[in-house]
Chain A
Amino acid sequence: MSATVVREPSTPLLPGGDAPVPARRRPRPRALLATGILAALVLLLPLAFLILEAAQDGWGTLHPLLFRSLTATLLWDTVSLMAVVTVLCAVVGTLAAWFVERTDLPGRRIWAALVVVPVGIPDFVTSFGWKSIFPSLGGFWAAALVMTLAVYPLVYLPVAAALRGADPAQEEVARSLGLGRVKTFWRVTVAQVRHAVLGGCVLVALVMLAEYGAFEILGFRTFTTEIYTEFLTGFNAPAACAMSLVLVVLSVFVLTGEGLSRGRGRQARTGGLAARVPRPHRLGRSKPAVLAGFVALVGLALGVPVGAIVYWMLHGGSSTLPSASILSATWHTVFYAAAAGLVATLAALPVAILSVRHPGRASAMLERSTYLVLAMPGLVIALALTYFCERYAAGFLYQSTTMLVAAYAIMFFPLALVAVRASVAQAPPALEEVGRSLGRSRFEVLWRLTLPLVAPGLTAAFCLVFLEVVTELTATLVLIPTGAQTLATQFWAFQSNISYGQAAPYAGLMILIAVIPSYVLGRWFDRLPSRAQAAS
């Protein structure tokens, strides 16, 4: 790939929300629209299930269950926790990404891998780790702390990808024009990665709505823990579905808020293929403080759960391990996670292109609708697929590998979309137009120009989905082919038998597997500019 694209002076770089984009309403390509709509329809299946189930019981039965004092308490706890964790994640994730990507932080490459890993640690391990160190841990702030440390990578990853793609020259210009370091950070850097931060925040907020395991351990009740109780303890699917619909309404609010704050700014740059190494900011005297911050962050987010695993391995009984089951569980886990990462990323690409390149009310609706699935608990999604598969497809592919991978891809599609979308937003459409005007086919332009430009986003998307799938449990148990095991299901099997010593190696392996994509991701980002520079 030659990297000799020159900057077009005619394309203004607009960091803020000024000057609306001139009407470049190109016709939406039909294939793109069709795939986008199809993706949205598949992702809305669980919602259809919720409405069907909730309707079964009628309003008269659901009313007293929805409108009682516990609901109000849970609603308040859920929303305030979501808000606090989202803000904390935005701060931690953005700062960590900026320090790793833009400064001379020592050991950047290692930090880049380590700060992502927490997303690949099962909630149960994290919360159990905390509970073993601080047995009286519980309540709002404990939940906020544990969750922030578990999900801030959802902000970090897209922001780091966006920083890699953003033009460092803008910061340099701002600095050379006399803007201070902090002001430059706020007015230029943050503006450049605003989409990524917002996207990450939406993910955090929605993931918080559907979180279950960690809150169970911490004894903090939210709407979602209550939904599981209704489903499981009460066998009351209609009630559980009605409560899930409340979560969907909450997530609509989140998405509307994000839509309002997204604005119309453009952040494309033309030099994507000719990127140069941004001159890293010198940390200078603040270096020890920043390093200490990273040590603290990784120590808390990674050290506590790893410590818990080591403790279990040392103290948790001495039964021998069937190594065959570990090997097969590892293989299944990696295979499912990789396949789901691939499918979700590929499916996210058309939706992202549609929403960025062909903006409008329809594409915005379409894009937003695909986020709703993130607020639905895994068990609900799995049962929805079960229901439709058995009722309308005669059980075709039910509990097959294909269906499980599809379920994962549906559940974590929004994660892929946010990462891909941020990268597409940074790739200048002008390049594609030039390509087209030079007589290249649409496909060729996509393959030769758009894909290389959005590659960092695709990689981030793949890794995000991969990491989430590795620890998924509730949907896995419903949809996995009978007899197959993943690391998460094996961990659960031993843990629910109070065999922590036997459960620990599975948790350890999950973390090890999570380290690999995190490291690859960091390395990949790291090599990109130098390679491009060498080519130019």
Chain B
Amino acid sequence: MVQDICPSPPGSRGQRFRLGVALALLGSLLAACGGSSSSKSITLYNGQHQQTTLKLVAQFEKLTGITVNVRSNDERALAAQITAEGSGSPADVVYAENSPSLEYLQNKGLLSPVTPATLAHTPSRYNSPQGDWVGVSGRVSVLVYNTKLLKPSQLPTSVMELAQPQWKGKLAFAAGETDFQPVVTSVARTYGDAAALRWLDGIKANAARIYPDNETVTDEINRGQAAVGVIDQYYWYRQRAQLGASGVHSALAYFAPRDPGYVIDVSGAAVLKSSSHQAASQKLLAFLVSAQGQQIISHSDSFEYPIASGVKSAQPETPFAKLQANPIGVGALGDGSKALALLQKAQLL
């Protein structure tokens, strides 16, 4: 940060005084040590899993010589931050875990159009319909169940069945997770808002407890605290990588083809309109969907599906092409506000 060593503007002199000269000195000292601001450097706001992002960035830096400063946080906190920053945002590129965060920023008019050649690497149904962000990887919503408590034959084939009384006290889902909202939107799109609300009331009554996130859902089903839950597939694979096969007492199951609970979630990236490094930023987007970038995703331990440049997952998962999800598009999922309104009406949020 070059600004650190600039003199303070006259208006804030009093404030500086209060904070103390010592602090200003300490601050600029540290900034001077760690500051790097070559013109060949961009800032990435990363809402995706850090480990994979850092691998992608390292390869990109090697290829292009452009330095990428990575800042990681929850994708939604980043979206809120970018909104608060407004036109002065230090971010050049934003990489989000789910399409609604990107749709939200796009609706606020904060994103630049993605280069058409970049968009062409990803099947168009996984890109922004408006063309302001590009799809990079995919996940799918599935059932996870405890193998000691349930047999595969006892599992529901539709997400709608989870609202039935037989699942009372046995169901786990994290209503606040961005991965869950696409399922809600999908149900509402398929059966209408009234039916979706009745369904939410039903699953709320069946929930074993309130779950903060999908990590907890996956963990508690594995330990038998709940029998069945709805998550995105990669949580289970990650847990298995962490615990080893012997520690896993749960399994995944897919809903019936085209069921509203069977949704592909798309992770994507965009360039900010306020960025003064448009060309370098577009290069990073192009790299993410290139064969090389997609290969890194396909081998990564975040267990997401590569969706661009024809690359297939190298992990032992159900092949992406074999998934038979509800064909609801990212445009229909929107910025998630429909799901949110329903979740609030059901007093789940």
Q: Report which A residues bind B (CB closer than 8 A).
A: 35, 38-39, 42, 65, 68-70, 135-136, 138, 216-217, 219-221, 226, 229-237, 316-317, 335, 339, 342-343, 346-347, 379, 382-383, 386-387, 390-391, 393-403, 405-406, 409, 474, 477-478, 480-484, 489, 493, 496-501
The 9 A-B pairs with the shortest beta carbon distances in the complex, nearest first, are A402-B27, A232-B76, A216-B212, A477-B73, A390-B88, A219-B210, A395-B88, A70-B347, A386-B84
Q: Report which B residues bind A (CB closer than 8 A).
A: 1, 3-4, 6, 8-9, 12, 14-15, 17-20, 22-24, 26-28, 30-31, 34, 43, 49-51, 69-74, 76-77, 79-81, 83-86, 88-90, 101, 104, 176, 178, 181, 209-213, 215-216, 218, 220, 223, 225, 235, 238-239, 241-242, 302, 335-337, 340, 343-344, 347, 349
Total A-B pairs, Cβ < 8 A: 191
Chain A residue nearest to B6 (CB atoms) is A396
| CB–CB A499/B225 < 8 A | no
| CB–CB A496/B349 < 8 A | no
Whole-angstrom CA separation of A42 from B51 in the bound complex: 37
- Partner of B242 from the list A382, A387, A398, A500 (CB cut-off 8 Å) is A500
| CB–CB B72/A493 < 8 A | yes
Whole-angstrom CA separation of A393 from B90 in the bound complex: 14
| CB–CB B340/A383 < 8 A | no
Residue contacts A-B, CB under 8 angstroms, 9 given? A233-B176, A236-B340, A339-B27, A397-B3, A401-B4, A401-B31, A493-B51, A497-B51, A498-B235
Chain A nearest CB, measured from B24 CB (Å): 6
| CB–CB B19/A343 < 8 A | yes
Chain B residues near A220 (CB, 8 Å)? 210
| CB–CB B86/A405 < 8 A | no
Given A339-B26, A383-B81, verify A398-B4 contact (CB < 8 Å).
no
Chain B residues near A230 (CB, 8 Å)? 349
Whole-angstrom CA separation of A217 from B219 in the bound complex: 12
- Partner of B34 from the list A39, A317, A343, A481 (CB cut-off 8 Å) is A481
- Partner of A234 from the list B31, B50, B349 (CB cut-off 8 Å) is B349
| CB–CB A483/B71 < 8 A | yes
Chain B residue nearest to A69 (CB atoms) is B347
Whole-angstrom CA separation of A68 from B215 in the bound complex: 30
Given A42-B18, A498-B239, verify A402-B90 contact (CB < 8 Å).
no
| CB–CB A497/B349 < 8 A | no
- Partner of A135 from the list B8, B34, B223 (CB cut-off 8 Å) is B223
Given A217-B216, A483-B70, verify A391-B86 contact (CB < 8 Å).
yes
Chain B residues near A493 (CB, 8 Å)? 50-51, 72
| CB–CB A317/B9 < 8 A | no
| CB–CB A400/B181 < 8 A | no
Q: B6, B14, B223: which has the most chain A beta carbons within 10 Å? A: B14
| CB–CB A499/B27 < 8 A | no
| CB–CB A237/B80 < 8 A | yes
Given A343-B19, A390-B85, A478-B77, verify A395-B216 contact (CB < 8 Å).
no
Whole-angstrom CA separation of A342 from B20 in the bound complex: 10
Whole-angstrom CA separation of A496 from B75 in the bound complex: 12
| CB–CB A395/B90 < 8 A | yes
Chain B residue nearest to A70 (CB atoms) is B347
Chain A residues near B73 (CB, 8 Å)? 477-478
- Partner of A484 from the list B19, B24, B34 (CB cut-off 8 Å) is B34
Binding site secondary structure of chain B:
helix
Q: B49, B80, B89, B213: which has the most chain A beta carbons within 10 Å? A: B80
Chain B nearest CB, measured from A137 CB (Å): 10
| CB–CB A342/B77 < 8 A | no
Chain B residues near A395 (CB, 8 Å)? 3, 85, 88, 90
Chain B nearest CB, measured from A247 CB (Å): 18
Chain A residues near B340 (CB, 8 Å)? 233-234, 236
Whole-angstrom CA separation of A101 from B255 in the bound complex: 63
| CB–CB A379/B77 < 8 A | yes
Chain B residues near A136 (CB, 8 Å)? 225
Chain B nearest CB, measured from A72 CB (Å): 11
Whole-angstrom CA separation of A183 from B308 in the bound complex: 77
| CB–CB B90/A497 < 8 A | no
Given A484-B34, A500-B242, verify A231-B80 contact (CB < 8 Å).
yes
Chain A residues near B215 (CB, 8 Å)? 496, 498
Chain B residues near A400 (CB, 8 Å)? 1, 3-4, 27, 31
Whole-angstrom CA separation of A349 from B240 in the bound complex: 53
| CB–CB B76/A235 < 8 A | yes
Whole-angstrom CA separation of A231 from B75 in the bound complex: 12
Chain B residues near A226 (CB, 8 Å)? 349
Chain B nearest CB, measured from A392 CB (Å): 9
Whole-angstrom CA separation of A39 from B24 in the bound complex: 16
| CB–CB B12/A335 < 8 A | no
Given A39-B18, A136-B225, A501-B242, verify A396-B3 contact (CB < 8 Å).
yes
Chain A residue nearest to B11 (CB atoms) is A393
Chain B residue nearest to A346 (CB atoms) is B20
| CB–CB B27/A232 < 8 A | no
- Partner of B176 from the list A229, A397, A483 (CB cut-off 8 Å) is A229
Whole-angstrom CA separation of A234 from B104 in the bound complex: 10
| CB–CB A233/B337 < 8 A | no
Q: A390, A393, A402, A497: which has the most chain B beta carbons within 10 Å? A: A402
Chain A nearest CB, measured from B154 CB (Å): 23
Whole-angstrom CA separation of A220 from B215 in the bound complex: 17
| CB–CB A481/B1 < 8 A | yes
| CB–CB B12/A393 < 8 A | yes
Whole-angstrom CA separation of A403 from B90 in the bound complex: 15
- Partner of B4 from the list A221, A231, A390, A397 (CB cut-off 8 Å) is A397
Chain B nearest CB, measured from A476 CB (Å): 9
Given A69-B347, A346-B20, A474-B77, verify A401-B27 contact (CB < 8 Å).
yes
Chain B residues near A382 (CB, 8 Å)? 81
Chain A residues near B211 (CB, 8 Å)? 219
16 additional A-B pairs beyond A343-B23, A391-B86, beta carbons within 8 Å, are A35-B18, A234-B337, A342-B23, A347-B19, A382-B81, A383-B81, A390-B88, A393-B12, A400-B1, A477-B72, A481-B34, A482-B69, A493-B50, A493-B72, A499-B51, A500-B242
Whole-angstrom CA separation of A136 from B69 in the bound complex: 42
Chain A nearest CB, measured from B100 CB (Å): 8
| CB–CB B31/A229 < 8 A | no
Given A135-B220, A232-B77, A498-B238, verify A68-B1 contact (CB < 8 Å).
no
Chain A residues near B49 (CB, 8 Å)? 496-497
- Partner of A498 from the list B15, B24, B242, B335 (CB cut-off 8 Å) is B242
Chain B nearest CB, measured from A174 CB (Å): 43
| CB–CB B31/A481 < 8 A | yes
| CB–CB A383/B212 < 8 A | no
Chain A residues near B19 (CB, 8 Å)? 343, 347, 402, 406, 409
Whole-angstrom CA separation of A229 from B178 in the bound complex: 10
Chain A nearest CB, measured from B222 CB (Å): 11
Chain A residues near B14 (CB, 8 Å)? 38
| CB–CB A497/B83 < 8 A | no
| CB–CB A233/B349 < 8 A | yes
Chain A residue nearest to B302 (CB atoms) is A497
Chain B residues near A68 (CB, 8 Å)? 344, 347
| CB–CB A219/B72 < 8 A | no
